[in-house]
Amino acid sequence: MAESSSKSMIRDLTEGPVVPLLLRFVMPLFVSNALQAIYNIVDMVVVGNYIGKTGMSAVSIGGDILHLLTFVAMGFSSAGQVIIAREIGANRRDEIKKTIGTMFTFLLVTSLVISLACYGLRHSILSWLNTPAASAKYTMDYMVTCIIGLVFIYGYNIVSAILRGMGDSKRPFIFIAIAAVLNMVLDIWFVKYLHMEVFGAALATVIGQAVSFIVSLIYLYIHKESFGFDFKLSSFKIDGTAFRKMIALGVPMAIQSAAINFSKIVLMSWINLFDVTFSALAGIYNKINTMCAVISQSFTTAGSTMVGQNLAARKYGRVNKILSAIMIIGIVFSLAGTFVMLKDPDAVYAIFTSDKDVLLSAAVLTLPLILNFYGAATRSGAFALINGSGRPKLNLAIALIDGMISRIGLAALFGFAMKLDCFGFWMGDALAGFMPLAIASVFYLSGRWKEEKTEN
């Protein structure tokens, strides 16, 4: 029966109209990604409307720091998820237990070490990022609060990786939904009614993350027999073999996650050299791009699955149709976004804040944002091809070239060398977003994508 079901699923992905099938796959991914995006954007919207540009600057800087600090969780939890899935497929229950215990201990200890280190360096970090004096206090409040709550982010990623590795994508969605709703309610309550300022926004985020982690952990404990993990202290021992597997797979994934986030931190430090208004604008720029990423990541994930299965079936013509559909749909979304940004950009920026200084200067973001729409659209097809054909090393290379070389290099060229200041930084960032398309195009034209392969 299981075999029949599996074969049916493959036929469903390799036959029938491409666009309806692609959209059917995308919708649940879009809803899940959108929920996470809203979760990340709420702090900025609430703070921007009730505190103003100094609060927005704090959330922007603190948020970028937090995203950078989660690169170990992102990389190693993803690696753990893949390893657990493989062990389930091979019916190695003892190995599953060792992987879960190793991942729990390694990532939770790592989160505590990072938190302590960052707390000790908190003043230096704000100095390195050229934090505007006007928002320094708020930024410290936001950063320290989120650093203390870092363990909950790592914990949630661990449990989600275990569940997804077991084939359960529904529960992680429910847990992040709990965090998103709680964060939204507490944000408004703490900031608007209790006047807790930026600290209130950060505290709401941490509480949401903590509740999400605790609920997910309770769920895992209740169903521990089906997962084969008994939660005894001895089971949390780091197993050498499991740890080596996790390192081999997790390090490239962690580097990939860190590369893009590091480039954002560098750009933020340059933007902070200017007025606090531009630091606040950076927050708007990043949050709108987060919305674009919701669509892009959804099509990337769905497209990768479809490309992978059609490559396995050697249906190369169908792969071309899938990539074309992803590109065309992405361009349609980009055109819609362009229309909105050109017709009434002020209405978009006003969602995030009512601060007059920020709104008067926001026009500087319009062109870079429009370019980012198309960069995000083309990245979907590029990564669908690369991921679907099993090329994680090429994916890592793109992350390093995009994040560490082209993004920082182009931002420096436009911002400093061409003296375009913050507009130049954002233009460099936007143009770097087309680098995955350039690399994937060369890969496509080489024909090597037809050689189905999974790199170790």
Interacting residues of 355 by C-beta distance below 8 A, sequence separation 6+? 48, 52, 53, 56, 280
Distance in Å from the first CA to the final CA of the chain = 32
Residues 174 and 233 in one domain: yes
Instruction: Report yes or no on 263 lying in a domain.
Output: no
R_g of the chain, CA atoms, integer Å: 22
Residues 6+ apart with CB under 8 A from 100: 80, 84, 162, 227, 229, 235
Tell me the average pLDDT across 112-117.
97
Per-residue pLDDT at 309 exceeds 80: no
| Domain termination residue (choose one: 228, 257, 286) | 257
DSSP per residue, 49-100? HHT-HHHHHHHHHHHHHHHHHTHHHHHHHHHHHHHHHHHHHTT-HHHHHHHH
Question: CA–CA distance from 311 to each of 13, 283, 386, 387, 389 (Å)?
Answer: 11, 40, 12, 11, 7
| End residue of a domain, out of 195, 223, 257 | 257
Whether residue 122 is contained in a domain is answered as yes
**Nearest to residue 285, comparing CAs of 367, 187, 380?**
367
* Residue among 204, 158, 170, 180 at smallest CA distance from 50: 204
Q: Residue range 117-130: average pLDDT? A: 96
236 and 126 within one domain = yes
Number of domains within the chain: 2
Amino acid at 350: A
- What average pLDDT does range 182-186 have in this prediction? 94
109 and 159 assigned to the same domain: yes
Could you report the per-residue pLDDT of 276-306, keeping only the tens digit for each? Answer: 999 999 999 999 998 898 889 889 878 887 8
Q: What is the pLDDT of residues 3-39, one digit of tens each?
A: 443 333 333 457 778 888 888 878 877 887 787 788 7
Give the global pTM: 0.87
Regarding whether 368 and 330 lie in a shared domain, the answer is yes
Residues 55 and 203 in one domain: yes
Domain presence at residue 23: yes
Question: Over pLDDT 70: what percentage of the chain?
Answer: 95
Name residue 398's amino acid: I
Structural domain of residue 382, as residue ranges? Answer: 1-33+274-456
